[in-house]
Amino acid sequence: MAGAVLIANPFATSVTERKLAEIQAVLEPLGGLETLLTQQRGHAVELARDACARGCDTIFVFSGDGTSNEVLNGLEPGADVALGFIPGGGTSVLPRALGLPRDALAAARQLREAVGESRTRRISLGRVNGRRFAFNAGVGFDAEAVRRFDALGRRDGGQRPGDVRFGLTVAGMLWDHRFRFEPAAELVGAGPVALALASNCDVFTYAGGRALRIAPDARFELGLDVVAVRAIEPSSVPGLALSVLRGRQPRDDDVHVLHDADRAELRCFRPLPLQVDGEDLGDVEHVLFESERDAVTVLV
């Protein structure tokens, strides 16, 4: 089965029947397009694995970042398949960080052209405790924010609350902690830290149309950039926030930074929340970040 598969999550924030039909119409000129809908969490892993086993050479993903992450984890190492990510979530960090437009139809048109022109890019992936991730993973602060945001649930149409609500969630979490986060883990070889973030590209997430950069030197083609904050005090919050908004590395006296790293290990003093590409993976006591270099081919 040489051909293309479109994996879509009908529960993603921006995926509707009408929009899916429009995306299909854009991609169908490529020939032999098969559309597969996810039914529950984890289903995209199976769909991607099966599509590759049947000889698919191109997989398009119309979803949020969670389903895109599942597709990446469904591919066997060395799989000869090109991936095209179409933004269908509330934020859709991955396709936007790869340079695609935020509008799903515009992105689909560019991906169709990329197939015709064989316009691809080889990128690395990250792994944390064996789970692949495309753009970031984190333990502690950001993972707790993801968990609190998920607890808000979804609207009747399946949409998650927007960026403003996520910002309020982060603000509420800071207030609950009184703007103070003490060391909660040891970054092996560096010492105690309050939180650690691993970036596979320079964009950590987006606030509306604005890219937020915690590791501005990170690149998809390199290893991981790991930023571990020693501690957060009320006096340090404004400086850290300003660094993120300006896209600059935090001050060296506040953080440990590993650039283009192959691995980084943390030993937690207590169970801490872990997130991968914006998905809550539960609590962990040990964290191993690893880079999987030159891992997959993406359409650009």
180-190 pLDDT, tens per residue? 999 999 999 99
Place of tokens 């066997």: 76
Q: What integer pLDDT is reported at residue 80 of this predicted model? A: 92
Query: Is residue 250 predicted with pLDDT exceeding 90?
Result: no
Average pLDDT over residues 3-12: 94
Q: What integer pLDDT is reported at residue 256 of this predicted model? A: 93
**Cα torsion 95, 241, 167, 67: sign:** positive
Q: What integer pLDDT is reported at residue 249 of this predicted model? A: 76
State the Cα–Cα distance between residues 10 and 117, nearest whole angstrom.
Answer: 29
Which stretch, 96-105, 153-162, 241-250, has highest mean pLDDT? Answer: 96-105
Helix or strand or coil: residue 81?
Answer: coil
Q: What is the largest CA-CA distance in the chain?
A: 59
As given in the structure block, the two tokens for residue 79 are 């799989």
Q: What integer pLDDT is reported at residue 193 of this predicted model? A: 97
Top CATH class, 131-292: mainly beta
As given in the structure block, the two tokens for residue 80 are 């000869």
Work out the mean pLDDT of the chain and round it to a whole number.
93
Q: What integer pLDDT is reported at residue 167 of this predicted model? A: 84
Q: How many helices (H) and strands (E) in the chain? A: 8, 16
Q: Do residues 211 and 203 make contact, with C-beta atoms less than 8 angstroms apart?
A: yes
Question: Pick from 134, 135, 133: which is nearest to 204 by CA?
Answer: 135
The model's confidence at residue 3, banded by pLDDT at 50, 70 and 90, is: confident
Q: Where are the beta strands (DSSP E) in 40-118?
A: 58-63, 82-87
The full set of domain ranges for the chain reads 4-118, 131-292
Q: Do residues 271 and 284 make contact, with C-beta atoms less than 8 angstroms apart?
A: yes
Average pLDDT over residues 90-119: 96
The model's confidence at residue 157, banded by pLDDT at 50, 70 and 90, is: low
Average pLDDT over residues 85-99: 96
Percent of the chain with pLDDT over 70: 97
Q: Count the neighbouring beta carbons within 10 Å of the beta carbon of residue 31.
A: 9
Q: What integer pLDDT is reported at residue 2 of this predicted model? A: 64
Q: What integer pLDDT is reported at residue 165 of this predicted model? A: 84
Percent of the chain with pLDDT over 90: 81
State the Cα–Cα distance between residues 136 and 94, nearest whole angstrom.
Answer: 10
Q: What integer pLDDT is reported at residue 241 of this predicted model? A: 85
pLDDT one-digit tens code per residue, 203-216 = 999 988 899 999 99
Q: Count the neighbouring beta carbons within 10 Å of the beta carbon of residue 8.
A: 24
Top CATH class, 4-118: alpha beta
pLDDT one-digit tens code per residue, 37-91 = 999 999 999 999 999 999 999 999 999 999 999 999 999 888 999 999 999 998 9
